[in-house]
Amino acid sequence: MSWRKIFAQGATVLALGLLDALGIWAFSSLLLRGEYWMAAGLSVALGLINWIYLSKRTYPLKYLIPGLLFLTLFVLYPVGYNIYIAFTNYGTGHILSKEQAIAQFESKFYLPPDTETFRYSVFQREGGTEFVFLFYPEDGPVLFARKGEVTPVDPGDQDFLDEDSDGVIDGVQGYRRLALPELVRNLSTLQAMAFPLGEKILRMTSLQEFSAYEHRYRYDPEADALVDLLSGTVYRPVEGFFTSPEGEILLPGFTIVVGWRNFFALVTNPQISGPFFRVFAWTFAYAFFSVLLTFALGLFLAYHLNNPYLRLRRAYRMLLIVPYAIPAFISVLMWRGFFNTEVGVFNQILYSLFGVKIPWLQDPFWAKVALLLNNLWLGFPYMMIISLGALQSIPEELHEAAQIDGASAWQRFWRITFPLLLVSLAPLLIGSFAFNFNNFTNIYLLTEGRPPIPGALTPAGSTDILISYTYRLAFEGQRGNQYGLASAVSILIFLIIGTISWINFRFTRALEEVSENV
Amino acid sequence: MRNFGIAVLSILVLGMLGLASEPGKLIVWCDETRAPALTEAAQKFTAAYGVPVEVVEVPFGDIRGNLAVTAPTGEGPDIIIGPHDWIGELIFNGLLEPIFLPAALLAQFDPASLEAFSWAGELYGLPYATECVALVYNKDLVPEPPATFEELIEIAKALTEPEKGQYGFLIQQPDPYHTFPLHSAYGGYVFGSTPEGTLNPCDIGLDSEGSVKGARLLDRLVKGGILFAGADYQTVTGLFNEGLLAMFIGGPWTLPGIHAAGINYGVAKIPLIEGNTPRPFTGVQGFMVSAFSENKILANLFLKDFLATKEVMLAIYERGQRPPAYLPALAELADNPDIQAFAASAADGIPMPKIPEMASVWGAWSDALELIVSQKLGPEEAMRNAAEQIRTLLGCK
């Protein structure tokens, strides 16, 4: 065995060992938290990885498995989770699981009106960790509390001490009193301690006091109902809230599965379905014209920059890539300023030259023009780069042959260059279309979907595309966030884009035949 | 989806750093402005009790969303900072725990700020600052602030010369928050009250007589050539900082920019509108305790003894320039005219509604203002439309 091989195998074992150590740690902490499904998934994945890297038969998988794992983790799992959320009412008021909500209700206590409060001292066993308490009632004997039991102290008991000899017990044999800083350091442990006192529960109220509390709610798993022990009201789960017979709800609510309701809402709720087709048409137009305009300009520039006789070609290319290099977040906000009706640079130029002021972001038509212009600026360098690459891959002989046959420059471009370009660029154009179909950033930063439509009963603006409209529906409508509805709409958008892309790819297959015939 | 992505990322990152709520250690989420003052207080707490306190900087806009995602999984913080109008949604989601302060300490806070953080009779936050808008003016252009709105309009008309890029008075548009004083002066409101004194989400007052009158005043400002469409925050503050704008309605957060630009400015209450007081929205910033914290009493102790002090409150003020809600700190700033002017404006204010239904109001209301300012719709119709939109959204028909 060569050194190289030994080194490679050693490295594999070492890396696997580290991974396993990490995995076992994660596995145990998941188990401790009660995340059994996650723990099971993790152990299966871990076992699979070990098998693949240690067995000889699985050689090819070694190269695939990292990619597949990341695909599962960052694509399949979020997609699956998104689909699950679409069938729930997850959103404001319904964030917690039912168990979490019940746990929160059951941990609620109330102080009965005539409750007792106690000053206290806390002690820790010498050299140990156990905490014990002495409680001082207003009258009556001092109480001693340890491990969930409370007993009155007999003043004659040798286990208790009266350190300052004032007739009140203030020490415990074998235990040491906690000073304030130490008490505070252990406050969270002490806060969680509770001692039964008859029907009531002694709990810490503040740094100085313990009080006798009573449970406010009790959950009855048989009846699936929450009982308010103070008023006797029975709350039953309705639509993700514990609800009294009178319809009063308890906060917080919890997440429930609502079936197809979010999807039905897309069709039956006029709020959502009303502006849908208008928004859809503009989304389509926006994506289409964005691709068309950026591609036209990008190809035009690339075609001319490809001319070997052009001087300073490299400098031009570099300059033209600048818009691509500036983050869209910054340049869109700058363009928003440029488009300002009064103080924006475009209108100042137009006004001094022609005496007109265009209501760029106030008029539906001009707002759409502004969006396309802005997107043209952001998008053409990408198109130019891919066109430059594609142009260079077209064999020069084809042009020469055509020239000899007497084809004009125009004919050579449209009959030879362009079809061949499309063969390699069409998938990228489809990708660009899908990207712009969901180009939330551009819309949200430049127009926020505005201007509004006069008299509309839904808050959908003239320049809202599907994704920004979804955002409005889910996060700016009603009360807070409606993740369930948002997930349902995003699935719908996925279906639309999927269909369009599928049709487009069928179309490009036709193009490929062109290249086969060349 | 973007928020969700960020939330997932932060879970991963925070999870890896082990910044989860755990017994015996406090975790505070705050934005970068507040962090230095809190870190100092945290160090004192650690020195006194040996309890570690971790101050984690989280972008302000992400605090609420990240809390909703991380807290139920046990990964969240013990204490967050945020404005009072978050508490409705956070309580709906079961994410907040009431806090308990001794009466003597409560008496040291501006009562309106405590009211803002109260829900169903319980206090959910320790307030540190109140904020609201007022009239900010350029003393070189307007030596004395106008006493009435009519006077303001006169001055603004005289100073507005768009050809020279000079403007007299602007309110950023379309922006309900900055426009609300016009509506409220005439008695306009957003949500009416129930007999129990809580807000009634189905009594929507955007098309009430007062709100419509305020919208008419806005329309008059546009028709008079004073206001223009597209005057957003950047435009308004940019013009003022270049000395090209005489007056605008703005909050304390505009002051650092104005100081840097070296403008000779003053702050005054928004002038009376037909003899009525314009009432801005007040927002109160404060510290809240997570319902999923395992250190609730510890968190209370930290808030009560280490944050509610003059030094910490003044240190927070230094960074954000918002009037402190803690009265001893406010008294310390008695000779600061800006703070006193904003505090006076806040004294007339109306707390921003904290019920979660407010989320549906901003969009429709902004749209109405936009349509008025761009002269696409009359004020009556625009406001009626907005109110109808909200009623439909909330199912109040």
ipTM above 0.85, yes or no: no
B92/A252 Cβ within 8 A: yes
- Per-residue model confidence (pLDDT) at position A139: 79
Q: What's the CA angle centered on A402, arms A398 and A406, to 5 degrees?
A: 170
Q: Which of B229, B235, B364 is nearest residue A459 as measured by Cβ atoms?
A: B364
Query: Among B131, B213, B252, B225, which residue's Cα sits nearest to residue B170?
Result: B225
Report the chain B residue with the minimal C-alpha distance to residue A191: B297
Provide DSSP, B306-352: IISSHHHHHHHHHHH-PPBSBHHHHHHTTT-HHHHHHHHHHHT-EEP
- Per-residue model confidence (pLDDT) at position A511: 64
* CB-neighbour burial class of residue B10 (10 A; exposed 0-12, middle 13-18, buried 19+): buried
pLDDT tens, N- to C-terminus, chain B (397 residues):
344 444 444 444 444 444 455 677 899 999 888 888 899 899 999 998 888 999 999 988 889 888 988 888 778 899 999 999 999 889 888 899 999 888 899 999 988 899 899 988 889 999 999 999 999 999 999 999 999 999 999 999 999 998 888 999 999 988 999 999 999 999 999 999 888 778 888 899 999 999 999 999 999 999 999 998 888 898 999 999 999 999 999 999 899 899 999 999 999 999 999 999 999 999 999 999 999 888 888 999 999 989 999 999 999 998 878 899 999 999 999 899 999 999 889 888 898 998 888 888 888 899 899 999 989 899 999 999 999 888 888 877 6
A104/B291 Cβ within 8 A: yes
- C-alpha B40: how far from chain center: 25
- Which of A479, A483, A491 should one mutate to test binding to chain B, selecting the residue with the greatest count of B CBs within 10 A? A479
* CB-neighbour burial class of residue B236 (10 A; exposed 0-12, middle 13-18, buried 19+): buried
Residues 6+ apart with CB under 8 A from A261: A89
B371/A341 Cβ within 8 A: no
Q: Which of B51, B232, B238 is nearest residue A185 as measured by Cβ atoms?
A: B51
Report how far residue B149's alpha carbon sits from residue B217's, in angstroms, rounded to the nearest whole number: 10
Task: Give mean pLDDT, residues A452-456.
Answer: 78
Percent of chain A with pLDDT over 90: 18
Report the chain A residue with the minimal C-alpha distance to residue B367: A452
Dump pLDDT digits (tens) for A37-60.
888 988 998 898 888 888 888 788
Dump pLDDT digits (tens) for A202-261.
888 888 888 888 888 999 999 899 999 888 899 999 888 999 998 888 888 899 999 898
Residue A270 has pLDDT above 60, yes or no: yes
SS (H, E, C) B54-68: EEEECCHHHHHHHHH
A320 and A384 in contact (C-beta within 8 Å)? yes
Percent of chain A with pLDDT over 70: 97
Q: What are phi and psi of B283, to 5 degrees?
A: -115, 140
Report how far residue A339's alpha carbon sits from residue A374's, in angstroms, rounded to the nearest whole number: 10
- Per-residue model confidence (pLDDT) at position B11: 43
- Per-residue model confidence (pLDDT) at position B13: 43
Task: Determine the longest span between alpha carbons in chain A, in angstroms.
Answer: 123
A344/B72 Cβ within 8 A: no
A188/B89 Cβ within 8 A: no
A180 and A120 in contact (C-beta within 8 Å)? no
- Per-residue model confidence (pLDDT) at position B321: 83
Report how far residue B149's alpha carbon sits from residue A154's, in angstroms, rounded to the nearest whole number: 78
Report how far residue A292's alpha carbon sits from residue A364's, in angstroms, rounded to the nearest whole number: 21
- Per-residue model confidence (pLDDT) at position B15: 45
SS3 A170: coil
- Per-residue model confidence (pLDDT) at position B1: 37
| Min Cα–Cα distance to chain A from B367, Å | 6
Report how far residue A129's alpha carbon sits from residue A47's, in angstroms, rounded to the nearest whole number: 40
Dump pLDDT digits (tens) for A405-451.
888 888 888 888 888 888 888 888 888 988 898 889 899 899 888 88
CB-CB neighbors (< 8 A) of A181 in chain B: 48-50
pTM: 0.78
* CB-neighbour burial class of residue B81 (10 A; exposed 0-12, middle 13-18, buried 19+): buried
SS (H, E, C) A222-280: CCCEEEECCCCCEEEEECCEEECCCCCEECCCECCECCCHHHHHHHHCHHHHCCHHHHH
A479/B360 Cβ within 8 A: yes
Q: What are phi and psi of B192, to 5 degrees?
A: -80, 180
Report how far residue A249's alpha carbon sits from residue B245's, in angstroms, rounded to the nearest whole number: 51
SS3 A400: helix
| Cα-based torsion angle of the residue sequence B305, B308, B312, B317 in order, rounded to the nearest 10 degrees | 170
B360/A342 Cβ within 8 A: no
- Which of A111, A342, A357, A464 should one mutate to test binding to chain B, selecting the residue with the greatest count of B CBs within 10 A? A342
B95/A480 Cβ within 8 A: no
- Per-residue model confidence (pLDDT) at position B17: 41
- Per-residue model confidence (pLDDT) at position B2: 40
- Per-residue model confidence (pLDDT) at position B8: 43
Query: Among A3, A461, A512, A206, which residue's Cα sits nearest to residue B363?
Result: A461
| Min Cα–Cα distance to chain A from B361, Å | 8
